[in-house]
Amino acid sequence: MSRRSRVDQVERLVGQLFGAVDVLQTHFEQCATELDLTPQQARLLSSSGSPCSQRDLAQQFCCDASNIVGIVDRLEQRGLVVRQPSVHDRRVKQVVLTPDGEALRERFRVALTANMPGLSSLAGAQLDQLEMLLAHFTNTPVST
């Protein structure tokens, strides 16, 4: 393959990748909205190992720590999470899912997996291929 055609292919793939991102993002938002969650609330509910400091959440979200306050506030008002002061460091508050929070997290996970765009039309061997190819993305550190 010539150098030029690879460049062309990468160009095409960039467009295709962000097209797929758009589809997946929309799917995520729809699943969240159906459970009366904003995307970020659904993300927080889904993401963490349940006991997780707000600082760690900010790092996971690549955002300022102050933003986590509001998201946790609204989840806490709905009784989906609680703030537990850490016994080792009293500055730290662990965000822990309540039973209601765990239940909603599970409902969200099921909704997200069902009707997942793209995957249903893929055969087993293609799922294997996709799994290997995606590893190149999730293991690639974001260039600084």
Partner DNA sequence: TATTGTTATACTCTATAACTATA
Partner DNA sequence: TATAGTTATAGAGTATAACAATA
Site size toward a copy of itself, by CB under 8 A: 47
Backbone torsions φ then ψ of 85, nearest 5 degrees:
-60, 135
What would the two tokens of residue 72 be?
A: 């946790």
Choose between 11 and 73: whose C-beta lies nearer to a copy of itself.
11
Angle at 32 between CA 36 and CA 129, to 5 degrees: 170
* Ramachandran quadrant class, 36 (left: phi over 0; alpha: psi -120 to 50; beta: rest): left
Answer with the entry of a copy of itself, DNA, none that 90 interacts with (C-beta below 5 to 8 A by kind). DNA
By CB under 8 A, name the binding residues for a copy of itself: 1, 6, 9-14, 16-21, 23-28, 30, 62, 112-113, 115-119, 121-122, 124, 126-131, 133-138, 140, 142-143
By CB under 7 A, name the binding residues for DNA: 38-41, 53-55, 58, 61-74, 83, 89-94
